[in-house]
Chains A and B, each alone.
Chain A
């Protein structure tokens, strides 16, 4: 179910020692999770995120709140005169972790149209894996997205740049530099024979997909490559074509999928 009264996570975990203000947003989300349990809406204080950034921000704020008593006190005092303070009980998990917990076998069972012969390069970027202890998997040797893609019947293309940065927010003020970072990842995926890239983070999506026009202008040898959310590939494999909303992707992955017999 959707978390009642959720607010924006804050998007970036504040690292400055004296910046407590920016921890309020994620802490408030975690408080809502406890409130949802109190209201009897869910059994466990667990929140699932799809976005790599929300995941990272919430998880790190949770750690800080639990372990840094000084900051916790400041946060509590700013949030005073509200219902009650956050009790530190919420758990943050990423959808990939939830799927892994369900078991890859269960996922395979749901597959109606295996993504056979589709060569997919999983891309993690930074925040799904780093810093150590806050990722969905081992930062050096992640397997979780590979496992999912295999369960969906796809062929995994392991690219060395799968956890390189896409350029992140530099895309705002240094778009060419960010485009170059994304270009290197995309080119490597193409060179290694991937048909498309799967990822989780909307900012990675923007830099690696929506910016392909700019990348093409900057690097003459660049040939486009479709980029999909891993959830879109799940929808496709589960036979939920409409729900995949592939018409929203740019570049359009449908011609390629049609060629492989995976799209009408």
Chain B
């Protein structure tokens, strides 16, 4: 947070607001009185619901960010993109196979990629989007997976791509194919699913359901996180 009391000017869909410096775009909008129903989800940079485009006064560049992560700047013109009107390609994962041509078959528009790198610059997750689109063009499924692993499908790459490619869908196909046909089933997951089905955790869950909110909060905050 910046020094207390410092305010900046932002424009939400053209309307001017004075908001405290140091707030994220999302908090600044709420401070300015907007009640967010779309364009908000986890508030933690994981769900991809808060895609936002902005331009800072004096610059000609249109920039992209997640509203819950990006801190406001003075003179920011903001518009939220809660939904990306991209065509959703349908395929049956049981029927398609991880062949080198699978991407061009389902997303022929990737052959139009100009290697302009606009998508990479738009990505709030700092992924090398152009590189994974090019890897898809080469049919390199593993590379696409590796480069797109942190994708949260906010849609900003697709909004900015001059070739009207929808990179995040291409990457999603890669990850689906990868987990189904290359990585295969994981023993641990199988085991855990069986345990869940056998009711191993039912009692624990029931106990949790009966806990008062304060106790729940305490447990949540002191929970053990293993990576």
Contact = CB atoms under 8 A, between A and B. Distances in A.
A25 B121 CA distance: 16
Contacts of A82: 117
Nearest to B113: A8
B131 A10 contact: no
6 contacts: A5-B134, A7-B131, A8-B134, A21-B114, A21-B162, A24-B115
Contacts of A7: 113, 115, 130-131, 134
B131 A8 contact: no
Interface in A4-26: 5-8, 10, 21-22, 24-25
B131 A24 contact: no
A10 B134 CA distance: 11
Interface in A87-143: none
Interface residues on B, range: 10 to 19
B137 interface: yes
A7 B137 CA distance: 9
A84 to B, nearest CB: 13
Nearest to A79: B117
A264 B137 CA distance: 36
A32 B153 CA distance: 28
Contacts of A78: 116
A81 B117 CA distance: 10
Interface in B31-48: none
A226 B34 CA distance: 70
Contacts of B117: 24, 28, 79, 82
B116 to A, nearest CB: 5
A25 B131 contact: no
Interface string B106-136: 0000010111110001000000001100100
B137 A8 contact: yes
A25 B114 CA distance: 6
Given A5-B131, A7-B130, A8-B134, A22 B114 contact: yes
Nearest to B121: A81
Contacts of B113: 7-8, 25
Residue from B115, B117, B134, B137 with most neighbouring chain A CB atoms (10 Å) = B115
A78 B113 CA distance: 15
Contacts of B116: 21, 24, 78
Interface string A48-77: 000000000000000000000000000000
A110 to B, nearest CB: 30
Interface in B151-165: 162
B60 to A, nearest CB: 11
Contacts of A79: 117
A81 B113 CA distance: 20
A42 to B, nearest CB: 20
A82 B162 CA distance: 18
A8 B115 contact: yes
A7 B130 CA distance: 9
Contacts of A6: 134
Nearest to A82: B117
Interface string B164-208: 000000000000000000000000000000000000000000000
B137 to A, nearest CB: 6
Interface string B63-93: 0000000000000000000000000000000
Contacts of B134: 5-8
A170 to B, nearest CB: 17
B225 to A, nearest CB: 35
Nearest to A26: B115
Contacts of A21: 114, 116, 162
Contacts of A5: 131, 134
A105 to B, nearest CB: 36
Contacts of B111: 8
A5 B111 CA distance: 17
A120 to B, nearest CB: 30
Nearest to A25: B115
A223 to B, nearest CB: 31
A81 B115 CA distance: 15
A6 B134 CA distance: 8
A6 B137 CA distance: 11
